[in-house]
With several copies, the nearest count.
Chain A
């Protein structure tokens, strides 16, 4: 049976502009989380829970790491929680990234802004499987950049910023021609970025992770749907996703 888990906050720190890294301890979630899954977090004083991706997992410490940007009152309230306090989460929710287990293959990780976090745990897992990684990470500006070092340790990493204040100026897709060959891509980021990615990489196998406003977060309320590309109704992002094969849904 599923449960709503209490997660103890072990660490909380601001690692980039308005961007908080939180380490949360919970046995069940840490032992079951797969790359690309998310937590559905209750925030004091708010009707709806907030979906936040799992950015890293430490099995021994029984912790999961989340990274989130303060964009509204829910994330602001979440950021106000201090180590020692607990938060209530449903999770791990949804279907994550299929983890390729073929050593020697090269894959691309392409993340935009707050879409970067789920790619980190994915990258770590892929690397431990012997997969070669190239990463492109896009941020608004220099002050928004996080996990550059962490991704660099996984493989070649390109950073781009909207305003050119660090790395290349432009979008994640602008770097696609410079990365060299890859067999598969994984991407997470804002809608327009995913549209551009899937457009430019049409025909190449890839997986994308989507965002939508959620109610239940578990597949019951039908808030978070996306049309299936075969025209046959909707997929639920919270339950069938958040990760989909690039050709499976119409963005």
Chain B
């Protein structure tokens, strides 16, 4: 028997696979494809203080082995999420991670605090790395001082474990990771999307209405692996890894690099069954490479 379970701050995961924030909404649509209870956990779409409408369309573009998105944090706001989305997801019994976003440190604080009201959310993912909003978002994610400030504020406001989601756009990812660890982060999640652009030749202008968007998908996997590998050696908090995962071998690569669990984003769009398919394939993949448990593989690829 291969042991897929893993324990992280606030999260008792029966397997290390969860859908990534923003690539799964609040689960309703994919619940029509399979039993969400199969998932290790769920990372919800970003929540902000008030409802947000996001950016104009087009909001997505396809790239080689990847895609760009500039949704712009569209979400119904913290109140509605607590009232209708969290209870829906909670019925499936797996841990729920709420993705917290905002334009100001105060908004982050407010949203984080709101999740204290429910016992159905098990951890927060602090989205200081969204490249698709004018204010907040990625600027908190590329400046270690600001990132630490937001992390501290949210830690004080919340009674939940906080996973800070790092941006690959940061010049010094290890410095960022250390800064938020020192500020009290319980874990990290990495990586968010890399800022990119596509120019639409017929119209001779950026294809996305927002001009830039976040690059995700298999194209960015090597960057995610490198960053996790570097950060793992510099911090003592666990990492939830993501960036281009499409199959169980990718998951093992992330575990070896130092992730303790992983999230699957873009792959859901190509294959709505990406998460359950990976969960089904994982035991055999671990066995094939000589592992009896997920825990055993974490960080095993690191040469010291």
A contacts B directly (C-beta below 8 A): yes
| Chain A hits for B23, CB < 8 A | 216, 220-221
Report whether B25 and A48 are in contact in the complex, using a CB–CB cutoff of 8 Å.
no
Q: Is B266 an interface residue (CB 8 A)?
A: yes
Report whether A215 and B269 are in contact in the complex, using a CB–CB cutoff of 8 Å.
yes
Give CA–CA (A224, B53) in the complex, Å: 12
| Chain B hits for A222, CB < 8 A | 25, 45, 54, 59, 71, 74
Give CA–CA (A164, B71) in the complex, Å: 41
Give CA–CA (A220, B273) in the complex, Å: 14
Q: Is A67 an interface residue (CB 8 A)?
A: no
CB interface residues, B 130-173, toward A, < 8 Å: none
| Chain A hits for B33, CB < 8 A | 1-3
Residue among A1, A3, A216, A225 with max Cβ neighbours from chain B (10 Å):
A216
Whole-angstrom distance between the Cβ of B53 and the nearest chain A Cβ: 6
Report whether B54 and A225 are in contact in the complex, using a CB–CB cutoff of 8 Å.
yes
Whole-angstrom distance between the Cβ of B202 and the nearest chain A Cβ: 10
Q: Is A4 an interface residue (CB 8 A)?
A: yes
| Chain A hits for B69, CB < 8 A | 215, 221, 223
Of B60-68, B112-120, B226-234, the one touching chain A = B60-68
Report whether A47 and B269 are in contact in the complex, using a CB–CB cutoff of 8 Å.
yes
Report whether B53 and A221 are in contact in the complex, using a CB–CB cutoff of 8 Å.
no
Report whether B34 and A1 are in contact in the complex, using a CB–CB cutoff of 8 Å.
yes
Q: Is B107 an interface residue (CB 8 A)?
A: no
Give CA–CA (A223, B58) in the complex, Å: 7
Residue on A with the closest CB to B217? A47
Over the window 1-32 of chain B, the binary record of Cβ atoms lying under 8 Å from chain A Cβ atoms (1 yes, 0 no) is: 00000000000000000000011110011101
**Contact size class for B?**
35 or more
CB interface residues, A 49-67, toward B, < 8 Å: 49
**Contact size class for A?**
20 to 34
CB interface residues, A 193-251, toward B, < 8 Å: 212-227, 233-234, 239
Give CA–CA (A42, B28) in the complex, Å: 22
Q: Is B270 an interface residue (CB 8 A)?
A: yes
| Chain A hits for B270, CB < 8 A | 42, 47-49
Whole-angstrom distance between the Cβ of A141 and the nearest chain B Cβ: 17
Report whether B51 and A47 are in contact in the complex, using a CB–CB cutoff of 8 Å.
no
Asked whether A233 and B60 contact (CB < 8 A) given A221-B71, A223-B71, the answer is: no
Residue on A with the closest CB to B74? A222
Report whether B51 and A216 are in contact in the complex, using a CB–CB cutoff of 8 Å.
no
Q: Is A149 an interface residue (CB 8 A)?
A: no
Report whether A213 and B269 are in contact in the complex, using a CB–CB cutoff of 8 Å.
no
Asked whether A48 and B59 contact (CB < 8 A) given A220-B24, A225-B54, the answer is: no
CB pairs A–B below 8 angstroms (12 shown): A49-B269, A213-B58, A216-B29, A216-B269, A219-B28, A220-B30, A221-B23, A221-B25, A221-B69, A222-B25, A223-B59, A225-B59
Interface residues of B (CB under 8 A from A): 22-25, 28-30, 32-34, 45, 51, 53-54, 57-63, 65-67, 69, 71, 74, 217-218, 266, 268-273
Interface residues of A (CB under 8 A from B): 1-4, 42, 46-49, 74, 90, 212-227, 233-234, 239
